[in-house]
Amino acid sequence: MYVVMYSFKVKPKQELAFLDSWRALTKLIYEYEGSLGSRLHKKNALHYIAYAQWPNKTVFEAAGDKLPKEANIYQDLMRISCEEIEVLEKFEVIEDLIKQKPYG
């Protein structure tokens, strides 16, 4: 598995626009580009961290050409709602021990 981490610094009063566009774009990338989805974390009031999971680096690097035109709308909304969007890291997953529910 391959992971890409992002940082989003959202403009004041743009949180809902950012969240809506992030969800919609993530869904399209999953449906059309072969990603395994993404998780979004709130670092503080206007700073979010996300990581997108991919089956492997090859699938990630080949992504981008299969999205429908509506993806452009969500990409534009994300850019407009953010002061800064940055790729923090790209790396391979060696082991995955995350569970969906607590032990016991």
**What's 75's domain CATH number?**
3.30.70.100
Q: 16 pLDDT band (50/70/90 cuts)?
A: very high
Q: Supply the pTM of this predicted model.
A: 0.90
Query: Is residue 102 scored above 90 in pLDDT?
Result: no
Q: Taking the chain, what is the end-to-end CA distance rounded to the nearest angstrom?
A: 27
Instruction: Give residue 61's pLDDT.
Output: 96
- 43-52 tens-digit pLDDT: 999 999 999 9
Domain range for 45? 2-92
Instruction: Count up the domains in the chain and report the number.
Output: 1
Element holding 81 (H helix, E strand): helix 70-81
Q: 59 pLDDT band (50/70/90 cuts)?
A: very high
CA-CA distance, 3 to 55, in Å (whole number)? Answer: 9
Residue 33 lies in a domain: yes
Residue 104 lies in a domain: no
Residue 80 lies in a domain: yes
